[in-house]
Amino acid sequence: MSVEHGGTGLFEQARQERRDRYADLAARLDGVAATQADTLGRLRRDGFARLPGHVPVGVATAIDRDVDSFCATGQNLQPPARVAGLSGEADYRDASRLDPADLALGVDHYRHLTSAVNVADPLVAVPSLVDLALDSRLLDLAGAYLGCPPMLGFVKLTRSLVNGLRPFDTEEFHVDGNSTCLVKAFVHLHDTDIGAGPHQFVRASHRERIAGWDVAARASEELIERRYGRDRMVVHGARAGDVVLEDTSGFHRRMKASTRDRTLLILNYVVHDEYGGGGARTKIRTADEARLDPQQRSAAELLEPTGESL
């Protein structure tokens, strides 16, 4: 498939290198594959598996409140795309960015200008995310699926906004071309129903890909329904603390929030650099990196230590 920036050969080579380098952890994962056969079986068959109540509700709520603060002040936010005024035919990559001055005016000002905001350097801005992102069970399950000790490739702490703007970017169906195979963990930080813009995944589309599909493209709901059928378009409502694991080489989208803003933590687990490398690395505070255990340290190899404290 053309979506794959990391083809099968690269993936297989990187996986074997990590198995050889971390033989003890790899042997542990072989045991996880046996004890977690039901969860891994669902992930392989359907492309997703749920972990209800994986994160304590108090931890999830505290992170959501941190994002409340950032959204109110504009601090620690990446400048989002200016969606207001874009034509329906405009490519998402053509959008300009909001100014920090817009963000400083608070969410009631900019919610009608953009679809979502992301926290800049989330592991630095919210240090409690480190243990959550490098949680042993998530690393075990991702590694057992990938076939080797995984790495944390990308962390996204995002808030989708209620507004009247058209669906934009990842609010449309798409596939991730980060690698031939990857696992994403969607960590729900509050109860999420249909009005909060839940995540939607097309069951088993990771095993029935559309040949030649481009990762930069966006698929219409009509195309997805014709190709896969309405019954396979699964909506992931969730409770605070639930985690959904997905192989996002299948089709997925965040649905448009209509009644309440949605906050979500997204964690990518990979075998090699995403999109062939060269992009900005996810930062971690040096102090946090220093306290990691061996499994976490192996998973943190793509992270960039920084002395910053936001």
pLDDT in the model for residue 177:
72
Residue 40 belongs to a domain? yes
Which ranges of the chain have pLDDT less than 70? 1-7, 88-93, 178, 214-216, 275-279, 308-310
2 inside domain: no
Domain assignment present for 87: yes
Return d(Cα 92, Cα 95) in angstroms, integer: 6
Element (H, E) at 34: helix 23-35
pLDDT (0 to 100) of residue 293 = 97
Classify each residue of 21-38 as buried b or exposed e, where b means 16 or more C-beta atoms within 10 Å of its C-beta: ebeebbebbeebbeebee
Indicate whether 14 belongs to any domain: yes
**The pTM is what?**
0.93
User: What's the CA gap between 74 and 67, in Å, rounded?
Assistant: 10
263 three-state secondary structure: strand
d(CA 225, CA 172): 13
In-domain check, residue 1 = no
Sheet with 243-246, edge to edge strand ranges:
48-51, 243-246, 183-188, 262-270, 151-160, 116-118
* Strand locations in 161-195 (E): 183-188
Residue 21, domain CATH: 2.60.120.620
Q: In this predicted structure, what is the pLDDT of residue 210?
A: 82
Look at residue 216 in the predicted model and tell me its pLDDT: 67
pLDDT of 3 reads 35
Q: Give me the number of domains the chain comprises.
A: 1
CA-to-CA separations, 59 to 47, 134, 142, 166, 300, in angstroms, rounded: 27, 15, 22, 33, 22
- Whether residue 139 lies inside any domain: the answer is yes
**How confident is the model over 83-120, as pLDDT tens digits?**
998 876 666 667 899 999 999 999 999 999 999 999 99
Task: Flag whether 114 is in a domain.
Answer: yes
| Domain that includes residue 159, residue range | 8-306
Asked whether residue 51 is domain-assigned, the answer is yes
